Amino acid sequence: MSGEAGNPNTSRELWVKFAAARDPSLRDQLVTENLGLARRLAHRFTQRGQPYDDLAQVASIALIKAVDRYDPERNVKFSTFATGTIIGELKRHFRDRGWSVRAPRRIQELYLELGATIESLGHGLGRSPMVSELAKATGASEEEIVEAIEAGQGYRSASLDAPDAAGATLGDSLATEDAAITLVDERSVLEPALASLPARNRVIMRLRFIDGLSQCDIASQVGISQMHVSRLLATSLSQLREAFTADL
């Protein structure tokens, strides 16, 4: 792993002295001098729906662990050693706490793996990879790929109080009155009906009616024909219509 720029003013002699004496004051000095590294790494993860202050705290605690574990006798820069420790703790934080809807651990880990896999395959293929190609690349089943993509919607949800780059929060943009309040009853009927659909059908419904993708784009992303997408949409809409009208 390449090292993130740490504090070049921290001398090796100071590390050696701390390793020998474990003086708390030296420890505090080393942590303070390298706090900028932790903050920069925390900033990398701010677009994933977690407040920066929480990420900075996780990174700072990881920095302290790195200071305690670092061996200056090994031929490794502290910045390189600490970067691996801090990023590992940040990823663990997201894996354990970054899901608004709890998903099985294996699905969480698969979703986190998919980001790099999709990017890598996309570069090679010149297009978005299909579910079957993602399954082959990750060793997971196509059903697990679909489940991970769907579960990932819960991973990316952001706090209403999380500030954006301008300092405004998502909550600031919400209307004080819900113009769709009259649709609450209809939603209470449709949500269980949506939950009863097969996982792939739910993904296709979301891609079509929430993400606004065309049937052609959905077919490419899911790995089936456009005609198959059309049939699955028609079947899903029919089931939802039946569930809705049955309760009227």
Nearest to 154 by CA among 207, 97, 72, 200: 97
Mean pLDDT of 140-152: 78
* Fold of domain 12-97: Four Helix Bundle (Hemerythrin (Met), subunit A) (1.20.120)
Q: Write out the H or E segment, with its range, that includes residue 84.
A: helix 78-97
As annotated, the residues of the chain forming the CATH 1.10.10.10 domain(s) are: 99-160, 177-248
0.75 exceeded by pTM: no
Q: In this model, does residue 9 exceed pLDDT 60? A: no
CATH topology of domain 99-160: Arc Repressor Mutant, subunit A (1.10.10)
DSSP string, 115-169: HHHHHHHHHHHTSPPPHHHHHHHHT--HHHHHHHHHHHHHHS---TT-B-TTS-B
CATH 3.30.365.10 fits 177-248, yes or no: no
What confidence tens digit (pLDDT) does each residue in 73-86 have? 888 889 989 998 99
Residue in the structure block whose two tokens are 């269980």: 192
- The β-bridge partners of 246 are none
- For every residue of 204-229, DSSP letters joined together read HHHHHHTS---HHHHHHHHTS-HHHH
Distance CA 132, CA 7 (A): 46
In the chain, residues under CATH classification 1.20.120.1810 are: 12-97
pLDDT higher for 10 or 227?
A: 227
Question: What residues form DSSP beta bridges with 163?
Answer: 169
207-227 pLDDT per residue, tens = 887 778 888 888 888 888 888
